[in-house]
Every structure is written in C-alpha cells, then in structure tokens.
Structure 1
Amino acid sequence: MTDLLHTRTDGPEDGPVLVMLGSLGSTLAMWEPNLPALAERFRVVRMDHLGHGASPVPPGPYTMKTLAEAVLATLDALGVDRVHWCGLSLGGMVGMYLGSEHPDRIARLALCCTSAAFPDRSIWRQRIEAVEADGTAPLAPGIVEKWYTPDWAELHPDVVERAVGWVSDSPDAGYKACCEAIEVWDHRDRLGAVAAPTLVIAGDEDRSTPVEPHARTIAEGIPGARLEVLHGGHLATMQSAEETNRLLLEHLA
C-alpha cells in the first residue's frame, strides 16, 4: 500500500478543494501566510511531501512518480477526486507531473518558483553527497538564505529561524530521496500535455529557479499558461503573500 501523506484541512467542507504542496525541505506550515484568504473560499488541503514533516519516510530513492502517487493515494483516502493545485518548487514539479499524467485529477494549476528541468544536475548530486556525509541540518542556513531576499529576511528573523528549523528537522533519508527525484527530473517534453488552465508564479530574486530559464520554460511549454513575476526569493509566495493570494483567487475562481 502506498504511504499516505500528512495533511491538514481548512476551510468550508463543501468548498472546492485546493491542494497546496511546498518546497523541498519545508513543511505544510509554509502556506500559513496564504491560508486565511484562501480558506475563506476553498477547502484547503495542505500536505507534507513524502519523507518530510510528519509524512512517512519510505526507503529511497524517489521519483516524481513516487511523490505523485503518494499524493493521489492520500486524495483517494480523503474521498477527493478532482482538485485545484498550488505547488511551489518540488510541489510545483509534482503538480506538473499530475497535470500531464493524471489530467483528470487536476482542474486548475498554479506552479510557483519551480522548474521543469535542471540542465546542470551536478548541483543535486553535490547536495545528495552532502546529505550522505553530514545530514541535512548543516545545509539549512545556506538553503534558507535563498528563500527570501536579504532585506526581507533582516526584517523577519523569526520567519527565517523557523524556516531553518524546517530544513534542519527534515529526515535525512527523506530529504535525500527527494533530491534524487529532482536530480533526474526533466518534464519539458510533457509540458504540452498539461490541459489544466495554468498560472506560473516566479520570484524576481529567486536564485534557485529564476525566471530565466525556469519559469519562462514552463509558461511557454504549457498551452495558454500565464506568467506572473512577484518580488521575492524562492519562497515568493510567503514574502509576497498578499499578491500571491490575489493571483490565486483570481486564477482559481
């Protein structure tokens, strides 16, 4: 049996379902700045990735198919068929996979600060080897440094400290297994199969998945996709939460 993911559900029981899945190294808590506005209208189901947070940590390596099947099994267990999807980074990759390979399950897509492929895979091999050598915790400050712009991070040290904790507390085996899924990820030739109306959100100072080439490739590859660039680092949905919420409510309406 496929492992079921840890979830939290907010909003009206009879509302349209919006699934939110976040970044590598995060937990479902990363969506808290977006939750109040979205949960007024949607039944928001936030998830921890496989190998992350309070979700199970089965042996790796994982593939994007592995991560997506855990999502589908969890939705099935919740009795949910068709959903809107908002995913950031790794969560966006899972959303892309579902959008092309399980189009019947996705009504509308929002893909935030994410990528359809990393031409230079060596960065992921280096991170995998670093986790194997010393675990995830020593990497946390450097990873979170890319999540927010320096000026915003300076004004919100409590947010930064909490985010470092998310990464530090990530199970080493689960984090590594998800890195292995990203290392081999290349969905560029399947973007044209995504039928759901798609909003691509990018951060103007995202050093992990910058607009060029990552967001642009997705927006040009998915038929009819729309690209919006917000101020922020890799977690622009947190840093520019109000603008993100406006775009999501407009797109998902």
Structure 2
Amino acid sequence: MAVVEIDRAKVSYRVDGHGPGLVLVHGTGGNGESNWGHLVGRLAADWTVVRPDYAGSGATADDGQPLSVPVLAAQVVGAARAAGAAPFDLAGFSLGASIAAYIAAEYPDDVRAVVLLAGFASGADSRMQLEFGLWRDLIRTDRRAMARLVLLTGFSPDFVRELTVQQIEENIDAIVSGNQWEGMARQVALDLSLDVSEQARRINKPTLVIGCTQDQMVPTAHARALAATIPGARYAELESGHLAPLEKPDEFVRLMTDFLRAGKQ
C-alpha cells in the first residue's frame, strides 16, 4: 500500500505487476481491494495495475467535505502518476465509471483507452434518485438492512439463489463490519448529484462500455445511453447483476483485456 498527498487528501493506492499502466477505479462503497483484488492475478502479468482508493474509501483520508467528480478524478490520476503508470488504460466500475469518463475527457494525455462497466452519466432520473435516496436513508438508520439490499439487488437472482443462508448471513456480517459507512454516505450523495454527460461527449479515446443485463442498481439503459453518448464507443453486455466484477469475474476480464489488447495491435 502506498500513499500520495493530493490537495490535502492522503490517497492510498496499490500497485501490482509489470508493463503498461492499467488503472482500476472502484464503485460506491467499495475500494481498490474489495472490487478488484481478486482480479489482479489475471492482469498483473501484462499490466502495471494501479488500484486507488478515492476519498471515502479504504485507507484514504481527507477533510470529510462533500465529494465531487473533479476531486475524485484528481485523486485517481494523481495516484496513477505517483505510481509511474501514466499514460494508462483506464477501467471504472459504477461510480468509478463516471469518474473514469471524466478523466478520459479532462486528462486526455494520461489515458490510452477506457472501459466503463455498469456506469451512468447522471443520477438525475427518478429511479436513480429513489435508489440512491434509499441507500442514503438506510446508511443513516439501518446498516444491516442496507447490507441485505446490496446482496439482494447487487447480484442476479440466480446468483443469490445459489448462496446458502449461512453464506448470505456471513456476507451481510462482512458488509456491516467492513464498510466505511460515513465515506459511503458521502459517495452516495455524489451519486445523487453527479452529471458527466458533457465530458462523455468529449471522450476521444477507444472506449468499451459494458452493461449488465440483470442490473437492478444501475439499469442497463444507463450503460446503453453512455455508449451512445461517447463518439465511436463499442458496447457489450454481461449476463450479470450490477456487481459483475464479483459475479462474472472471468467474463469481465476477458471482455476488458480483449478490448485493450486489440487496441495495441
């Protein structure tokens, strides 16, 4: 674990592997280890994999003020530069996809190619406001219920059905005890207000947008709209719930690495 200071925030990040840079940006309530750690072994032979924890997650410490996409983007880019990984390929998941889209537009000299998984350009529509508003309220009032909701809506019904009752309870316990709840609340507030539509229209890097067909958190229409907004973007889908890095890790890695390697040929 390394730390770099960026605008008075001490941003933690992990670096693994050798080769060109690949920066992985986690989602709301996650961090570089929980969202991506189990994938590093599949990637580190071909890339220098950088996994920053932006503010509100992991070991990163900041002033506790409301978050913004520009602030989190600067933290991600700063960590990648500190790791010596720029220019880099860039993959973002969920909120991390919004941040990655912003980085691709605003830091073009640092980015080679972009992969956006289960992403959204704006949280303004009524369903997203209902979803993230419920998250905000449960984080304040009933964190165990929030953990149950994450499992229920984060994975596909078939995936959850295959878990035993004991496994479900163990996962709920792990979420309740391991989550950085105050940080997640700040990230949810950003989910409710962000809009990177203008940046998405300005992305001029090779881009793959991946939607998840059984996504109950960020419905697939958001990924399709994001792909339609980005000039020349490719679009693909995974038969998965929102938490595709956990539910379909092999399929996600295959889609991402095939795309990134094709761009190098």
Same fold (TM over 0.5): yes
Secondary structure at the aligned position of 1:250 is classed as helix
Higher relative contact order (CA 8 A, sep 6+): 1
Q: Which of the residues 210, 218, 232 maps onto 1:209?
A: 218
**Partner of residue 38, structure 1:** 43
Q: 1:24 aligns with which of 28, 39, 42?
A: 28
Shift of 1:204: 0.9
Q: Tell me, what secondary structure is at the counterpart of 2:70?
A: helix
Distance of aligned partners of 1:151 and 1:160 in 2 relative to their CA distance in 1, 3 Å threshold: farther
Please name the residue that 2:201 is paired with: 192
Instruction: Please give the per-residue CA displacement for 1:121-174, whole angstroms capped at 9, x wherever unaligned.
Output: 34334433443x336454112123222112223435558844762465332321
Q: Deviations for 1:208-251, whole angstroms, at most 9, x for unmatched residues?
A: 11222x01111100011111111110011322222211111111
Report the alpha carbon displacement of residue 108 of structure 1 after superposing the two structures with TM. 0.7
CA contact (8 A) 1:138 1:168 kept: no
The answer to whether the 8 Å contact 1:100/1:194 transfers is yes
CA distance in 2, matches of 1:160, 1:195: 45
For 2:229, the equivalent position in structure 1 comes to 221
| Deviation at residue 78 of structure 1 after TM alignment | 2.3
Distance 1:171 1:232 in 2: 26
Instruction: Give yes or no for the alignment of 1:170 onto 2:179.
Output: yes
**Aligned position for 2:136:** 128
Tell me the SS of whatever aligns to 1:37.
Answer: helix
1:141 pairs with 2:141 = no
CA distance in 1, matches of 2:9, 2:45: 30
Q: Structure 2 residue aligned with 1:5, among 7, 11, 26?
A: 11
Equivalent pair of 1:136/1:168 in contact (CA under 8 Å): no
Give unpaired runs (5+ residues) of structure 1: none
Mind listing any 5+ residue stretches in structure 2 that lack a counterpart?
1-6
SS in 2 for 1:9: strand
Letter in 2 for 1:4: K
> When the two structures are superposed, what TM-score results if normalisation uses the length of structure 2?
0.85
- Equivalenced residues, count: 249
Whether the 8 Å CA contact 2:29–2:183 is kept in 1: the answer is no
CA distance, structure 2, for counterparts of residue 60 and residue 125 of structure 1? 19
2:250 to 242, 245, 253: 242
2:53 aligned to which of 44, 48, 57 = 48
Task: Give the superposed CA RMSD.
Answer: 2.2
Judge conservation of contact 1:204–1:229 (CA < 8 Å) in 2.
yes
Q: Relative to structure 1, is the Cα distance of residues 168 and 248 closer, same or farther in structure 2, using a 3 angstrom cutoff?
A: same
Q: Kindly provide the amino acid, as one letter, of the partner of residue 204 in structure 2.
A: A
SS at 2:149's partner residue?
helix
Distance change (3 Å), C-alpha of 1:63 and 1:163: farther
Moved more, 16-25 or 28-37: 28-37
Distance 1:127 1:219 in 2: 26
**What SS class does the counterpart of residue 19 from structure 1 fall into?**
strand
Name the SS of the counterpart of 1:31 in structure 2: helix
Contact 1:4 1:73 in 2 (8 A): no
Alignment of 1:109 onto 2:114: yes
Give the fraction of aligned pairs with identical amino acids, expressed as a percent: 27
Q: Relative to structure 1, is the Cα distance of residues 164 and 42 closer, same or farther in structure 2, using a 3 angstrom cutoff? A: farther
Instruction: Assess, with a 3 A threshold, how the Cα gap between structure 1 residues 159 and 24 changes in structure 2: closer, same or farther.
Output: farther
